[in-house]
Amino acid sequence: MTLDETPATPVAPTMRRLLGIGIDWILCLLVSSAFFADPALDPGVATLPERVLLAGAPFATLGVWAAQHLLLVATLGTTIGHRVMGLRVIREDGASFVGPVKALIRTALLALVIPAVVWGPDGRGLHDRLAGTRIVRTGAAA
């Protein structure tokens, strides 16, 4: 399939994708706060939500997010946030699993943010186009 062809499987709605990544990010904030405390945060001044969600070092949070995204998309085709929102990442070539190479490309580009906010006419982000993947609603023909 070329980039100009109409996809056989519709792209997942943008709001579902944003909510899915939001869920993943919150879970990663929790892990980062629990295991990678930011020394700049004063626990005596921080509120409870800040201590629970924002106590982790920012790059540790990004690293936790990248690791979980890479592992889960490569093996299961879905992150926790994707699953909650009824989404799945599939390969353009129809292979059963996304696999580590395509998941790595997708994860690295998502971590850069810019490719994720540059969309084509079909609603797919540049990260999905370059990785040869697409995110679809669960139950859609893969």
Instruction: Give residue 4's pLDDT.
Output: 42
Residue of higher predicted confidence among 27 and 115: 27
CA distance 82 to 140: 14
Classified as helix, coil or strand, 89 is strand
pTM as predicted: 0.83
Q: Is the pLDDT of residue 141 over 60?
A: no
Using 50, 70 and 90 to split pLDDT, how confident is the model at 48? confident
Which residue type occupies 52?
A: V
pLDDT tens track for 81-101: 999 999 999 999 989 899 999
